[in-house]
Amino acid sequence: MTDDLDRLIRCVGAIIHDDHGRLLLVQRATEPGRGRWSLPGGRVEPGESDADAVRREVFEEVGLAVRVGQLAGSVRRAAPGGGTYEIFDYRCAAVGGTDPRPGDDAADARWVSAADYRALPVVDGLTDALAAWSALPR
């Protein structure tokens, strides 16, 4: 039997706040977490840097260009079918536009305030991670 930690799947996520302190979230259209809200992001492709993966994933999921900043933190989550997602979340800034439009594997995308966030069904562990990194919406 192979230990799931032997099969780490590197992923990235983008923590993007607007000028009002709202956080950009996507509603997942696929598993894991289908129908729940999360940060835009996904798997890092072979040979791709984390920064390149963040830029690609954000553009595919919400149609926005971003400047990738510092690593906020990382988490591990069980992957469907075995293995472990190792997710590295980066602080980012939208550049050249701030009107998200869902695409790729996002059913919806929107900027959310603290009140909006509390009303949404978010993926497991997101709130704890964002709180630890001082990245919850205002």
Each residue's pLDDT tens digit, 27-71: 998 888 889 999 999 999 999 999 999 999 999 999 999 999 999
With vertex at residue 132, the alpha carbon angle to CA 126 and CA 138, rounded to the nearest 5 degrees, is: 75
- pLDDT for res 30: 85
Domains of the chain and CATH, by start:
4-125 (3.90.79.10)
**pLDDT (tens digit per residue) in 61-109:** 999 999 999 999 999 999 988 899 999 999 999 998 889 999 878 999 9
pLDDT higher than 60, residue 3: no
Torsion on CA atoms 25, 121, 124, 104, rounded to nearest 10: -40
- pLDDT for res 6: 66
Residue 112 bridge partners (DSSP): 23
Distance CA 75, CA 83 (A): 14
- pLDDT for res 1: 43
User: Which is higher by pLDDT, 2 or 118?
Assistant: 118
Dihedrals phi, psi of 73, to nearest 5 degrees: 170, 180
- pLDDT for res 112: 98
State mean pLDDT over 10-30.
96
